[in-house]
Amino acid sequence: MGVVKLELKGISKAFGTFYANQDIDLVVESGQIHCLLGENGAGKSTLMNVLYGLYEPTAGQILVDDQLVTFRGPGDAMAAGIGMVHQHFMLVPVFTVAENVALGAEPTTFGGVLSIEETRKKIREISDKYGFDVDPDALVEDLPVGVQQRVEIIKALVREAKVLILDEPTAVLTPQETDELLDIMRQLKAGGTSIVFISHKLREVKAVSDVITVIRRGKVVGDAPPTASATELASMMVGRPVSLSLNKAPAQRKETTFVVENLTVRAANGTNVVDGISFDIAQGEILAVAGVQGNGQTELTEAILGIQDHVTGSVTLDGKQLLGLPVKDVLRSGVGFVPEDRTVDGLVGPFSVAENLVLDLYDQAPFASGISMKPAKVAEHAKAKIEEFDIRTPSAGSAAGTLSGGNQQKVVMARELSRPLRLFIASQPTRGVDVGSIEFLHKRIVAERDVGTPVMIVSTELDEVIELADRIAVLYKGKLVGIVPAGTPRDTLGLMMAGVGPEGGSDD
């Protein structure tokens, strides 16, 4: 089995008049881990979809071992030895592992009858070789995300992929799972598989790459060695100098005004998605809630806001019970809330930026009098906020949905921070936001803390948690594993995110 050298020459991919990739050159040497580093929307995934035959390039050539190839579909790419693990797994949830692995390259006997036993055998072989511990007969929908990812890798290996593309593989993993994945990548490399590793997380990229290619706005900015500093890499990604550390002052804790006691949220299937959680936040401090996605964070914040049913326990702000109040009354009590998905809950896409900036205040003075709105006041307000938050929009009247992710997030933040607050809750405050805007949004959050508001941040990005938190609460399967001070080592936090308590005992 020969190893494969992969070369992209002048690849461009246009969607309409928009170029997602423009004139990209890339050489992946055999047996290397080659990282594509770039922000969300920089065009990394598009490029890989071109390479995998899912998109047809508008211009450019792909060479495998110096041979010009054209991929009409993923089948051609696989035949050339290219495998891909997509960011959103391409697994059929109701199929078993073996069925998923077999799909598309099914071993059959006479007449197309499946002989799934052969696939089972191959899965066991690969699983043993790399220590994957995957049961071929498990239903994929019952497997944890980390194991599903291994199924995806097995899928590529069964097809004898010589080049493996991993598209943002660590986004859904705990820090421990991430470390395991990095180990697997090193093992694969040692076994002769080249890896294209797509990421925007500097720490992982530096840990595992042989070569780093930075992409910005669809173009290659340049290559960097893995020894380059995080600040250098970040500056290459953004295209201007970036300061990665926030340098915030220590918290000035005042009175404790926000208290959550024994909060429990029951899901439709009878399980407790939030299970007896108690914590409090003082004025002037940031409590960051860490945890892998789907461990009850969404339900926790929504329960506080009052948009979850079947909630028991107590949530008090300034001594007033919030549970059971209509959402409007909760907001009127001075709660600012940034939802985790701005496009679903944070904005009305077709509404203008100005309208989105007053979604919570449109029926009050000065934006309304009686039943009529006052457009002049709304526009004035919009102008001020666009300036204050540096929202890049063609005009205040542009539809919010047409803005970039970072600017949409700024609109949501600007709205929630433009009233006097007694409590500020932000879920995933910088998800999908470019590094430059992250810096700005983080500063705003700290500024809100410094005026004496209790702040609760929910984030699945451990870097962000460490950056912002004065105290860190870790959720696992709806339970609070523990609350630890800022400065707790990453490894400890990582273990807590996997359910192991800060004292070392298992909480499961």
Partner 1 sequence: MSATTTAPKPGSTALPAFRPSMKVPLSLGILALVALVFFGFLGPDQTAEMKISDAGDAVAVPALMIPGQVGGVVFGILLLAMAAYSIYLWTQGERSPKWLPIAFAVVFVFALLVWIVAGARQPSISLAGLVAGSVTLAVPLVFGSLSGVLCERVGVVNIAIEGQLLGGAFTAALVATMTGSPYIGLIAAAAAGAAVSMVLAVFSIKYLVNQIIVGVVLNVLVSGITGFLYGTLMVPNKEQFNTPGRLDILPIPLLSDIPIIGPILFEQSIAGYLMYIAVAVVWFGLFKTRWGLRVRAVGEHPQAADTLGINVNATRFWNVTLGGAIAGIGGAVFTLVTIDTFTKDISGGRGFIALAALIFGRWNPIGAFLASLLFGFAYNLQSIIGIIGTPVPSQFMAMLPYLVTIFAVAGLVGKSRPPAASGIPYVKG
CB of 302 to partner 1, least distance (A): 16
CB nearer to partner 1: pick between 145 and 323 = 323
CB nearer to partner 1: pick between 55 and 476 = 55
Determine if 113 is a binding residue for partner 1 (CB under 8 A). yes
The candidate with the shortest Cα–Cα distance to 283, out of 483, 449, 445, is: 449
Query: Residues binding partner 1: what is the number (CB under 8 A)?
Result: 46
Determine if 52 is a binding residue for partner 1 (CB under 8 A). yes
Out of 2, 112, 370, 485, name the contact with partner 1 by CB under 8 A.
112
Residues of span 55-74 touching partner 1 by CB under 8 A: 55, 73-74
CB of 59 to partner 1, least distance (A): 18
Phi/psi for 375 (5° steps) reads -60, -35
Residues of span 405-444 touching partner 1 by CB under 8 A: none
Distance CA 207, CA 197 (A): 12
Distance CA 284, CA 253 (A): 5
CB of 140 to partner 1, least distance (A): 10
- Give 491: exposed, middle or buried? Use CB within 10 Å, 0-12, 13-18, 19+: exposed
One character per residue 71-100, x = contact with partner 1 (rule: CB under 8 A): --xxxx-x-----x-x---xxxxxx---xx
Distance CA 360, CA 330 (A): 12
Report DSSP letters for 419-447, one per residue: S--SEEEEESTTTT--HHHHHHHHHHHHH
One character per residue 127-166, x = contact with partner 1 (rule: CB under 8 A): ----------------------------x-----------
The candidate with the shortest Cα–Cα distance to 273, out of 253, 252, 291, is: 291
Determine if 16 is a binding residue for partner 1 (CB under 8 A). no
Residue 231: strand, helix, or coil: helix
Out of 29, 65, 106, 232, name the contact with partner 1 by CB under 8 A.
106
SS (H, E, C) 332-386: HCCEEEECCCHHHHHCCCCCEHHHHHCCCCCCCCCCEECCEECHHHHHHHHHHHH
One character per residue 318-337, x = contact with partner 1 (rule: CB under 8 A): ---xxxxx------------
Buried b (16+ CB within 10 A) or exposed e, 461-487: bbebbbbbbbbbbbbbbbbbbbbbebe
Determine if 315 is a binding residue for partner 1 (CB under 8 A). yes
Determine if 270 is a binding residue for partner 1 (CB under 8 A). yes
CB of 112 to partner 1, least distance (A): 5
Phi/psi for 133 (5° steps) reads 60, 60
Binding stretches for partner 1 (CB under 8 A): 49, 52, 54-55, 73-76, 78, 84, 86, 90-95, 99-100, 102-106, 108, 111-114, 155, 259, 261, 266, 270, 310-316, 321-325
